[in-house]
Amino acid sequence: MSEVVARIDDFGRPAWLALMVLGFIVFWPIGLAVLAYIIWSGRMGCSPRYGDMQAWRDRAAARWEHRRERWERRMQRHWGGRHGFAPSGNRAFDEYRSEALRKLEEEAAEFRAFLERLRMAKDRAEFDAFMTERRDRPAGSGGGPHEPSPQPQS
């Protein structure tokens, strides 16, 4: 058996891949067994050895840190500034823009508060109408959920 493995090793990775594909074509368990052997024995050389694992982790961490720093620089260049805009270079314009954006944010907050008050008033009116209808209903009617109640006109 070791002679066969040595002979296939002489041809390298392409021979192992061809043997695996041929094994899948002939009978799929043979191809699966060859694939398991290739992975288990490390013939493909794609997984780091235990001694190289720390070096591999260090390289991966360095790549990740480099990508993160590059992303942060790109985002800072693109979205820099207080309101998501890069400085124009003209301080007077930048101050005007930041003041205008601040005013717009205040108006938006006021509008959201107005909408909330409006929804609350509508909910209050609907609830009051329900309570009035419930009080005015005769005592013997039962008042079960099967009786439709008139909807208030909006």
For the ranges 49-63, 66-80, 120-134, the one whose mean pLDDT is highest: 120-134
Domain count for the chain, please give it: 2
> Residue 16 pLDDT more than 90?
no
Is 24 contained in some domain?
yes
pTM score: 0.35
> 48: which residues sit within 8 A by CB, 6+ positions away?
55, 56
- 10 in a structural domain: yes
What residue numbers bound the domain in which 32 lies? 2-41
CA 56, CA 152: separation in Å to the nearest integer?
Answer: 70
Question: Given this model, what pLDDT does residue 110 score?
Answer: 95
Q: What is the pLDDT of residue 74?
A: 81
Q: Is residue 59 part of a domain?
A: no
Encoded tokens for 135:
């009080």
Residue 151 counted as domain residue:
no
Residue 154 within any structural domain of the chain: no
Residue 32 maps to a domain: yes
| pLDDT tens profile 39-68 | 887 777 665 555 566 777 788 888 988 998
In tens, the pLDDT along 93-119 reads: 988 988 998 999 999 999 999 999 999
36 found inside a domain: yes
Does any domain span residue 124?
A: yes
